Amino acid sequence: MDYRTTASFGKRQEYSVIAELLKEKFDVYLTLVDDQGIDCIIRRNSKKYIDVQIKARSKEAKQWNFFAAMTVKPRKNYFFIFYTEKNDTLWTIPSKDVRRLGITNKTGKNAGKVSLNLPKSDESSNASKFEKFKNEEGFKLLRKY
């Protein structure tokens, strides 16, 4: 994969996820700058908003199911949507669960940052603890908020 393709993969996938949210009838607003870890905002009603960070891994990535060195400041209305191209799966995970299920780096330049290892298949050893975040099940979490 050439640099241009690699560099634009994340942005293309952000828009693909946003398109999927719109198809699912969510009221989605885009941010102009991603300086707070927010790629879009979902309006649930006049008083409830969900901040969403979108992360994607291409099928060519060596660790296509591993998301490393993320800044995660958990709060009730902050969700991550992960996309793994190799198995064409969306994972919608509340930030508190990303923190709980991930590994927090203890030392080095990424100390305090979180890495998350998503299941490669339904038969993976960690698949059951991620089932409620997968595809439509994950969107149900957004609808319940």
Buried b (16+ CB within 10 A) or exposed e, 17-43: bbebbeeeebebeeeeeeeeebbbebe
Q: What is the residue-averaged pLDDT of the chain?
A: 94
Stated pTM of the model:
0.94
CA 117 to chain centroid: 12
Tokens of 71: 């800044």
| Model confidence pLDDT, tens digit, residues 41-76 | 999 999 999 999 999 999 999 999 999 999 999 999
- Domain spans of the chain? 3-144
| CATH fold group of domain 3-144 | Trna Endonuclease; Chain: A, domain 1 (3.40.1350)
List, in order, residues 6 or more apart from 84 with CB less than 8 Å away. 56, 57, 64, 65, 91, 118
| Model confidence pLDDT, tens digit, residues 69-108 | 999 999 999 999 999 999 999 999 999 999 999 999 999 9
Residue 114 has pLDDT above 70, yes or no: yes
pLDDT cut 90: percent of the chain above it: 91
Task: Pick the more confident residue, 5 or 51.
Answer: 51
